[in-house]
């Protein structure tokens, strides 16, 4: 009975984590779409810096109240993580500017096989045949409903390659650092958010000027655009935290595969609130294929042998062994 209750509790927390991530991610996409497309605030990198700045304020306040306990993350690991994360953000923005929307979507889809490769090489993970096929089905479904025109050039290809690899490495590192240093999601966010905020707010205005030929300090805010900016920053706190929770509880590959449910939801909500232009049988078919693939992946990867780690590749020091993994779970359950 005790084992069953623990299993049920874990399943409930897993579902709550995914719902938290889906709701905040879809919410921020829709808010940012209104902020950028409707009100003309097209400074994506600076906006991301503001997101992490808001997250820093929250984690600092929670640390001051004692809800986030002191923890250690060596500077070399922190700087590597921030480097991967910032290259991911900048790479995605540049890739979207230099490539067609179709190739941009293909680049995003390629993050799953790259994440799989990282887990196979670095963590010695082995996937079953059904797990591999389910991943391919998800990729096929999302490609059918999102990839249209595809054109590429050398600069765009290089930007996309940098974006894909840095994103995959950043997401792998979230899981890696949480396991290696027994960090909860709040702890890891408290370490990384201030450095990301400072670096992106320093570089962002210059990068955004290069991409848009507009200065962020010259933007004329209205009451409504300022409201959407504050709303975007507020939701971003939940998005950043939920990403760390989900990858910490699962893996980067599972986060990417099941995360495409957000792509489907964004499409559905976009057609609902912003018009049905582009909605056709191909899009509907792609959505259905992707959803079937996600259900299959969830079932296949949870079976014995569906996804196995053959050996632990993460060295844990004696000091870190003293911090039980239950502390990480407890900090996540407070969310």
Q: What pLDDT is stored for residue 105 in this prediction?
A: 75
Q: What pLDDT is stored for residue 268 in this prediction?
A: 76
At 135-148, the pLDDT tens digits run 898 888 888 877 76
Give the list of residues 6+ apart from residue 106 with CB closer than 8 angstroms, or none: 143, 147, 150
Q: Which residue has the higher pLDDT, 335 or 9?
A: 9
Mean per-residue pLDDT over the chain, rounded: 83
Q: What pLDDT is stored for residue 240 in this prediction?
A: 92
Query: How far apart, in whole angstroms, are the C-alpha atoms of residue 275 and residue 148?
Result: 18
Q: What is the rounded average pLDDT of the residues 260-289?
A: 73
Coil, helix or strand at residue 312: coil
At 31-52, the pLDDT tens digits run 988 898 888 898 999 999 999 9
Helices (H) and strands (E) in the chain, counts: 13, 2
Give the pLDDT band (50/70/90) at residue 18: confident
Q: Which pTM was predicted?
A: 0.79
Phi and psi for 43 in degrees, rounded to 5?
A: -100, 80
Q: What pLDDT is stored for residue 259 in this prediction?
A: 72
Tokens of 85: 């994360």
């Amino acid at each position: 009975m005790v084992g069953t209750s623990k299993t049920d509790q874990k399943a409930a927390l897993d579902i709550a984590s995914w719902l938290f991530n889906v709701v905040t991610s879809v919410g921020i996409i829709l808010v940012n779409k209104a902020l950028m497309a409707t009100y003309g605030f097209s400074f994506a990198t600076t906006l991301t810096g503001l997101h992490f700045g808001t997250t820093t304020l929250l984690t600092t306040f929670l640390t001051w109240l004692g809800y986030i306990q002191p923890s250690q993350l060596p500077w070399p690991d922190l700087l590597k993580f921030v480097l991967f994360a910032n290259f991911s953000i900048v790479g995605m923005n540049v890739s979207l500017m230099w490539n067609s929307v179709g190739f941009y979507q293909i680049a995003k889809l390629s993050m799953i096989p790259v994440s799989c490769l990282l887990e196979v090489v670095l963590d010695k993970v082995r996937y079953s045949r059904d797990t591999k096929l389910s991943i391919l089905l998800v990729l096929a479904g999302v490609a059918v409903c999102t990839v249209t025109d595809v054109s590429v050039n050398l600069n765009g290809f290089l930007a996309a390659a940098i974006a894909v690899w840095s994103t995959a490495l950043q997401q792998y590192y979230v899981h890696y650092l949480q396991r290696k240093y027994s960090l909860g999601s709040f702890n890891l966010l408290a370490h990384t958010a201030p450095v990301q905020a400072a670096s992106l707010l320093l570089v962002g205005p210059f990068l955004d000027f290069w991409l848009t030929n507009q200065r962020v300090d010259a933007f004329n805010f209205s009451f409504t655009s300022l409201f959407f900016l504050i709303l975007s920053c507020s939701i971003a706190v939940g998005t950043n935290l939920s990403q760390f929770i989900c990858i910490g509880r699962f893996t980067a590959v599972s986060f990417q595969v099941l995360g495409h449910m957000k792509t489907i939801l964004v499409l559905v909500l976009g057609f609902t609130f912003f018009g049905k232009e582009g909605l056709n049988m191909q899009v509907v078919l792609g959505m259905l294929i992707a959803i079937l693939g996600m259900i299959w992946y969830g079932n296949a990867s949870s079976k014995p042998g569906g996804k196995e780690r053959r050996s632990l590749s993460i060295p844990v020091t004696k000091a870190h062994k003293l911090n039980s993994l239950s502390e990480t779970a407890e900090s996540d359950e407070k969310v």
